[in-house]
Amino acid sequence: MPKPRETAVYTHGHHESVLRSHTWRTAANSAAHLLGSLEPGMRILDVGCGPGTITADLAALVPHGHVTGVDRAPEIVEVARATAAARGAANTDFAVADVHALDHPDDTFCVVHAHQVLQHVGDPVRALREMRRVVRPGGIVAVRDSDYGAMTWYPASPGMDDWLALYRRVARANGGEPDAGRRLKAWALEAGFTDITATSSTWTFSTPAEREWWSGLWAERTLESTYAGRAVEGGHATAERLRAVSAAWRDWGERPEGWFAVLHGEILCRV
């Protein structure tokens, strides 16, 4: 029987405005729920490693262990390799892989980590089962995903409301689930995990520099990324509507009272 393969389409693509966000991520700001469970000799699989910044951080935290980073996109795997090399993370390796059919034997890793992955896959329960398969007895599957429906901001903005409704529609049309954060525990239970610690945490953007950065990358992503193309090609938005949404992001970023919070669901599943 052939192995299952990914059926969803990655909504964001790898435009510079997307990578600007991904390379900002660290183990501290994106995997804090896992860090207290790490030990120096662990072997870790980082699923959906993206440009490798979290992967390299994890490698530094397990200096006598090893971290394997995998991603579906060959071009981004090369970026991750370069990131690890620049950081001197010799205890890493990288490969192209699909989380629904990992190329590793059962019971290979002490930890499997996935950040902002399950919201983009076609079958998150199957993905969790596959992550569980490659974890050794006593190991951990650690997952963190944002929840778009729970994102909130101030001041109110009809243009930002339109952004959220549009993004959720496009992501679901691509086969993903943008409100993944709230579903992680339920998916883990369905995947067969019984020892689950479910938590949450946020990213908050409020200072002038934070607002400029966060609003700028979304304003650009709305006009120039793969997401923008899919919004138009899928009949979800016109170019004019995207320009209005982009302008709303710029306007929010210039407001001194501006505040934006991204809620994340998190799970630590012990095998």
Least Cα distance to 181 among 198, 197, 164, 195 occurs for 198
pLDDT for 4 beyond 70: no
Lowest mean pLDDT among 17-26, 120-129, 195-204: 17-26
Q: Examine the pLDDT at 2 and tell me if it is beyond 70.
A: no
pLDDT in tens, 160-183: 999 999 999 999 999 999 999 999
pLDDT (mean) for 207-218:
97
pLDDT at 5 over 70: no
DSSP string, 24-59: T--HHHH-HHHHTT--TT-EEEEET-TTSHHHHHHH
Q: Mind listing the pLDDT tens digit for each residue in 74-126?
A: 999 999 999 999 999 999 999 999 999 999 999 999 999 999 999 999 999 99
Predicted TM-score (pTM) of this structure: 0.94
Long-range CB pairs of 163-170 (<8 Å, 24+ gap) are 163/218, 163/222, 163/245, 163/248, 163/249, 166/231, 166/236, 166/237, 166/241, 166/245, 167/11, 167/227, 169/236, 170/11, 170/227, 170/230, 170/231, 170/234, 170/236, 170/237
Which of 6-15, 99-108, 223-232 comes out lowest in average pLDDT?
A: 6-15
Tens of pLDDT along 32-67?
999 999 999 999 999 999 999 999 999 999 999 999
